[in-house]
Amino acid sequence: MNVNAIRKVDGGVIAARGYRCGAVGAGIKTKAGALDVSIIFSDRPAAAAALFTTNRVCAAPVLYSRNLLRKRRTVRGIAVNAGNANACTGSQGMKDARRMAGLAERAVGAPAGSFLIASTGIIGRPMPMAKIEAGLRAAAAVLGDSAGHAESVRRAIMTTDTVPKSAAVEFRLGGRRVRIGGICKGAGMIAPNMATMLAFLTTDCAIAPALLRRSLREVVEHTFNSVTVDGDTSTNDTVFLLANGAAENAPLATPGREADLFRNALFTVAADLAQAIARDGEGATRFIEVCVTGARSESDARKAARAIANSPLVKCAVHGGDPNWGRIICAAGYSGAPVIPERMKLRINGVLLFKGGMPTRVPPAQLKACMSPRDILIHLELGQGSAERTVWTCDFSKEYVTINADYHT
C-alpha cells in the first residue's frame, strides 16, 4: 500500500462524510464580530480518541473531556470556544465546562454525555456563560457542510494565529472512499500567552476504538508532539479524533496493511497541520526542520533534536541567516543524548558543515547560500545507530519578544 494512494483534498474538518459544522461570533474574543464559538457535529455516533496536554495545570475542558472519554467510546461532536481558556478557574470552571457540554448537546439535540469540549484564550477569568450559551445555540442553528462552514470553523478557533490551518486526505479501503480531515490552531498565542494547540480531526472510516486510539497516539508523537515553538506546553493542548464509519468500509480492527494505510493517511493530515503551526509561530520568519539520525535510540534522537530546536541561540542564528554549526553541535552536546563529537556530521540544507569533530572548510558563498531558503533543514547524523527523529520549529525574531513583552495581563 503506497503513500501515493493518499490524495490531498479540500474540506478540512468536514471533508469526511457525515460531519457538519458551524461557527458564530458570540462576543468572547475582544475583537467585535470575531467568530469564537463553534460546533463540529457527526450525524451518527463516532468513535473518539483524544490526547491532552501533559501540563500538570490542566484547564477545566481538558479535565472534563478526558473524564468523559474514560466512560464513553463514542461521541456526537465537539464544542469549542476561543477567547477564554477556562483555565485556572477553580471549581466554577469545572461547573462551566460541564454546562458548556450540556448546552451543546441540547442545542443539537444530542444525548447527554455525547460532546467533547475545548477552550482557548485568556486564563484565570470566569467563562462568560451567557455568551457561551447564546453562541452554542446560534452555532447549532447554522450547522452545514459547505466550504463556507469549514472556513468559518477553522477561523473561529484561531487566537493570534495569522493564518487558518486545515488539511484533508482521501484514500480507498476495500473499494470504499475514506477521508480524514482536520483543523488546528497553534503557536500564535493568546493573553496570557499559553501557546495552546488545538487540533480536531474527523474521519468517515469505520475503525475500532482501540485501533483508532493507537493510531492517534503514534501519529501525534511524530507530528503535534514534534512541534516546538518555545518549549512551553499549554494548560489546554488538545487533539480530538472522531471516526463515524460513514464511509461504510469493512471496519478496521486489527493491525495490518489497511491499518497502516489509515495511519499513514492520518499522519499526512497531522503532519500538514503540525508544520503549519511551526510556520505560524509567533514572529516566525523561517521554518526549521531538525532531523537527527544515527542515534542509538529514538529517545536519544528526540533529546538531541528537541535541544537543537529549543535553543534560543540556534533559533536566533537561523533568524539572522547564520549557518552557526557551533550552536547546533553545542545543543546536541548538552541535550543529554550521549553524542560523540568525532562521529557527528552536520548538514544544513545539504551542505556539510561539521565532521570528525571539526568544522569543514566550506567556501563562504556556499555557506551563505545554504541559509538563504525560507525553509531550513538541519540534519545531524550522530553515527551511533539507526534511530532517528524529526522536530519542527521556527526562528526566533525580535517580533517574538515584542509580541510577548508588550502584552499586559
Q: In the complex, what is the shortest distance from the CB of residue 193 to a copy of itself, in angstroms, rounded to a whole number?
A: 5
Q: In the complex, what is the shortest distance from the CB of residue 67 to a copy of itself, in angstroms, rounded to a whole number?
A: 16
* Residue 133, H or E segment: helix 129-141
Grouping H, G, I as helix, E, B as strand and the rest as coil, residue 157 is coil
Residue placing its CB nearer to a copy of itself in the complex, 210 or 407: 407
Residues in contact with a copy of itself by the rule CB under 8 A: 53-58, 87-90, 123-124, 189, 192-195, 230-235, 310-313, 316-317, 319-327, 329-334, 337-342, 354, 356-359, 367, 396-398, 400-402, 404-409
Q: What is the DSSP string of 76-115?
A: EEEEEEEEE---S-HHHHHHHHHHHHHHHHHHHTPPTT-E
Residue placing its CB nearer to a copy of itself in the complex, 114 or 310: 310
Q: In the complex, what is the shortest distance from the CB of residue 287 to a copy of itself, in angstroms, rounded to a whole number?
A: 16
C-alpha cell at 22: 458551524
Counting every residue written for the chain, the total comes to 409
User: Known catalytic residue: 196?
Assistant: yes
User: How would you classify the pairing of strands 74-84 and 115-122?
Assistant: parallel
CA distance 328 to 340: 14
Residue placing its CB nearer to a copy of itself in the complex, 42 or 235: 235
Residue placing its CB nearer to a copy of itself in the complex, 68 or 329: 329
Residue placing its CB nearer to a copy of itself in the complex, 183 or 288: 288
Grouping H, G, I as helix, E, B as strand and the rest as coil, residue 201 is strand
Of 248, 241, 230, 239, nearest in space to 263 by CA: 241
Strand order through the sheet with 375-381: 358-359, 351-355, 345-348, 375-381, 287-295, 387-394
CA distance 317 to 379: 16
Of 37, 262, 18, 16, nearest in space to 128 by CA: 37
Identify the active-site residue in 53, 89, 159, 196.
196
Q: What are the residue numbers of the active site?
A: 196
